[in-house]
Amino acid sequence: MTNNIEQDKSFKSRRRLQWQCRRGMLELELFLQDFLTYDYDGLSEDQKCKFEQLLTIIDPVLFDYLMGMQEANEPELRDIVHTIRTAHQQRLHNHS
């Protein structure tokens, strides 16, 4: 019974994250959705919290962070941005 409750909470959490990754900028949405699909599960709990915090940032600023045009002021956000950018670059390299 407890396992079912945990699975349900995990499913709801994933759905909430998928919804938060939906953005007004298609490029940003695809970037975040790919990370959620392929890399999120490998994060530590602390990194997952930082990812969720990152999702609260408005699209233009978040886009600038992920494209490397601007750096986050908070060190913990810089770390998760670096993790996302690195994962994205590795996926691109593996597909070429």
CATH fold for domain 2-94: DNA polymerase; domain 1 (1.10.150)
User: What is the structure's pLDDT at 5?
Assistant: 57
Q: What is the pLDDT of residues 60-90, one digit of tens each?
A: 999 999 999 999 999 989 999 999 999 999 9
* pLDDT confidence band for 94 (50 / 70 / 90): confident
* Category of 68 on φ-ψ map: left (φ > 0), alpha (ψ -120 to 50) or beta: left
**Helix (H/G/I), strand (E/B), else coil: 76:** helix
CA distance 58 to 40: 20
User: What is the structure's pLDDT at 96?
Assistant: 67
Q: What is the pTM (predicted TM-score) of this model? A: 0.85
Domains of the chain, by residue range, sit at: 2-94
Q: What is the pLDDT of residues 33-54, one digit of tens each?
A: 999 999 999 999 999 999 999 9
CA distance 4 to 27: 35
Which residue's entry shows tokens 């490029």?
Answer: 27
